[in-house]
Amino acid sequence: MLNDPLAVLSAIILLGIGAEWLSWRLKLPSIILFLLFGSVAGPLTGFLKPDALIDDRLLPIISIPVALILFEGGFNLRVRELRQIGAIVRNLITIGTVVTWLSGAALAHWLFSMTPGGALLLGAVLVLSGPTVMIPILRLVRPKGPAGSALRWESILIDPIGALLAVLMLEVVLVGGVRAAAPIIASGIIRSMIVGGVTGAVGAWLMIALLKRRWVPDFLQSTVTLMAVVAALSLSNFFQPESGLLAVTLMGIILANQKSVPTEQIAEFKRNLQILFISGLFVFLAARLDFSGLSGRWGPALLFLGLLVAVVRPLAVGLSAIGTKLPWKEQLFISALAPRGIVSAAVASLFALDLQAIGHPDGEILTQLTFVVIIGTVLIAGAVASPLAKGLGLAQQNPQGTLFIGAEPWVRSLAAEIKRRGYATAFVDTNWANVADARVAGFPTYHGNILSEEVWEELDLGGIGRVLAMTPNNEVNSLVAQRFADVVGRSHVYQLPPEPSDDPKKGISGRLSGRLLFDKGLHYDRLEGMFDAGATIKSVPVTEAGNLQSFRRRHDGRLIPLFAAHAKSGKLIPVPADGGLSLIPGQELICLALPAPPA
């Protein structure tokens, strides 16, 4: 058993990073392993005693990871996305939020006799979902139709909205509870909103000013961002207790939506710190779990979980779907998935400590019920998502869409022909001009490096069955192939052939690359040169059985097959460079048509 603070802290870091690594290896949501490692090390074996770290000096440190989580939640909220999302998502994060909040509070008050203020705080905490659990589930199931997109956007956008609601409810409890004089509650909330709002806005403005004047080098931007978040948290709490979390959330929202300075380094900061702070925080929280307070009340606790899943969530989705024309199958699928995650656990645990510090009776039950709901909803969502999607006919058994990595003009010409046939197409590119042109042409696009976690988290792979790495960099193409091999299957990841080289040391092992496209001589520069010389995309029906070589001979090499589309089966097959594609009548070849030679 560890009681020494340094040993406990070291063990928490070791277990947290180990859980993060194992979740990557096993392709499981990290929160499951955080809870497992922490529970085994803490309440189940008694090996870890994290309370050795908690005293008046160390307790404020716990608020820093929570502040970083809420800063990230605010940073993920793009105002322009609120305008672009569909009505169902808007309703889920507005109507659905209110229904979940008030219903959860009513159930907690009824089943556990929580105070009105404590029940409203718990209801607000249980509004939070987050993409850390939802997105891996959606990647596994890949539902078709609007359901997958709605769940993805809800999980991303609900965090900052729910966090603001939870912080305000904490203010209600700390000021005196719902039954206290309304003017006292109102003045406390107004002070918190003013102090938190001003501090967050000033902190964001200072960060923007520093970056705009280039007073902070790239390698220090992550550190300075951490400093700014901690400073805003501390300064706001100094002037108005517990207003700091509101300040950092607003600070993240402002930084995410300004257009004066790039925020890539800030995004890098939050991802790197997540691994250390969040993993350690959750092992710490799980190791402190004590469900003894639920002794004799497990029946009401499970009833609480069951009602949230079977009644409250469907009610929230049903009311949100009114007027949206969302089919009942999609409504049922969305209703079944509402896993709570990292933000709920962090916020509940910190707020519980605040309540316990003032002797509030709901401090202990707040954490216990939150973790019951987290564990239950994660297990339920993981268990039912795939079979339910298949049963409702929403699972994509053989998606035929294509994700292009690289959106150069000639790649867009090829994608346009594919899209014209009704196949899903999307682009990822680091070049903003290419992304803008693709968006104007009506393609779903993602701006950024496909190897970055930010773009990876944003990707919506609904309808996507293959990935084509079409960048001029062969190393990047190979890394893309490795990354997507486990997502769409290694046989469905393709890349352009590399330029020929006499130096074997410059090549990349075939086992580290995707399947080569089209023809081994058609590397990026050659294809781009052909389009610059006037080559176009042309569709040619296959009238007789044969192979690619005979097809090319019949057309004097002026038609180079790129894709084979079969209208009857609905399949779209990229032409592999090894030529292993048989042609059958009924297919149509999407070809690169070379211009006629001058007379």
Which residues does residue 2 pair with via DSSP β-bridges, in sequence order? 48
Cβ pair 168, 189 in contact under 8 A:
yes
Determine the pLDDT at residue 445: 85
Between 177 and 340, name the one with better pLDDT. 340
- Average pLDDT of the chain is 79
Determine the pLDDT at residue 417: 83
| CA-wise closest residue to 404 among 455, 474, 480, 473 | 480
pLDDT at 346 over 80: no
Between 145 and 225, name the one with better pLDDT. 225
Q: Is the dihedral of CA 436, 442, 443, 446 positive or negative?
A: positive
Beta strands 546-547; 493-495: pairing state? unpaired
Cβ pair 250, 67 in contact under 8 A:
no
Determine the pLDDT at residue 307: 94
Question: Global pTM?
Answer: 0.69
Least confident of 21-35, 178-192, 492-506: 178-192
In this prediction, residues 14-29 reach a mean pLDDT of 79
- Cβ neighbors of 194 (< 8 A, separation 6 or more) are 240
Split at pLDDT 50, 70, 90, the class of 239 is: confident
Determine the pLDDT at residue 235: 92
Q: What is the CA radius of gyration of the chain?
A: 27
In this prediction, residues 529-534 reach a mean pLDDT of 82
Q: What distance lies between CA 452 and its chain's CA centroid? A: 12
Please, is 241 exposed, middle or buried when counting C-beta atoms within 10 Å of its C-beta (0-12, 13-18, 19+)? middle
Fold observed for domain 401-593: Rossmann fold (3.40.50)
Greatest mean pLDDT among 9-13, 46-50, 73-77, 93-97 lies in 93-97
Class of domain 56-391: mainly alpha
In this prediction, residues 504-518 reach a mean pLDDT of 63
C-alpha–C-alpha distance, residues 202 and 160, integer Å: 19
C-alpha–C-alpha distance, residues 409 and 558, integer Å: 21
Greatest mean pLDDT among 39-48, 154-163, 528-537, 542-551 lies in 528-537
Split at pLDDT 50, 70, 90, the class of 390 is: confident
Least confident of 306-320, 372-386, 534-548: 534-548
Between 394 and 334, name the one with better pLDDT. 334
Q: CA triplet 20, 248, 124: central angle to 5 degrees?
A: 75
Determine the pLDDT at residue 105: 93
In this prediction, residues 529-540 reach a mean pLDDT of 82
Two tokens, residue 468 = 């084509």
C-alpha–C-alpha distance, residues 95 and 526, integer Å: 54
Split at pLDDT 50, 70, 90, the class of 61 is: low
| CA-wise closest residue to 152 among 336, 395, 316, 334 | 334
Split at pLDDT 50, 70, 90, the class of 99 is: very high
Sheet holding 425-429, edge to edge: 445-447, 425-429, 401-405, 464-469, 493-495, 515-516
Two tokens, residue 45 = 């074996």
Split at pLDDT 50, 70, 90, the class of 232 is: very high
| CA-wise closest residue to 138 among 160, 125, 155 | 155
C-alpha–C-alpha distance, residues 302 and 308, integer Å: 10
Determine the pLDDT at residue 130: 66
**Residue recorded with tokens 């020494």:** 4
Which residues does residue 401 pair with via DSSP β-bridges, in sequence order? 464
Two tokens, residue 254 = 């402002």
Two tokens, residue 26 = 């096993």
Split at pLDDT 50, 70, 90, the class of 56 is: low
| CA-wise closest residue to 565 among 595, 587, 533, 537 | 587
Determine the pLDDT at residue 199: 93
- Cβ neighbors of 185 (< 8 A, separation 6 or more) are 172, 175, 176, 178
Determine the pLDDT at residue 554: 77
Determine the pLDDT at residue 51: 65
Determine the pLDDT at residue 108: 92
pLDDT at 100 over 90: yes
Determine the pLDDT at residue 198: 92
In this prediction, residues 353-360 reach a mean pLDDT of 78
Between 59 and 306, name the one with better pLDDT. 306
Q: CA triplet 196, 197, 201: central angle to 5 degrees?
A: 115
Q: Where are the domains of the chain?
A: 56-391, 401-593
In this prediction, residues 276-285 reach a mean pLDDT of 75
pLDDT at 159 over 80: no
| CA-wise closest residue to 398 among 515, 492, 468 | 492
Determine the pLDDT at residue 259: 76
Least confident of 104-113, 130-139, 203-212, 411-420: 130-139
Determine the pLDDT at residue 313: 93
Two tokens, residue 563 = 């894709």
pLDDT at 408 over 70: yes
N-to-C CA span, the chain:
88
Phi then psi for residue 393, to 5 deg, are: 75, 20
Q: CA triplet 321, 323, 329: central angle to 5 degrees?
A: 40
Least confident of 204-208, 293-297, 302-306: 293-297
Cβ pair 77, 256 in contact under 8 A:
yes
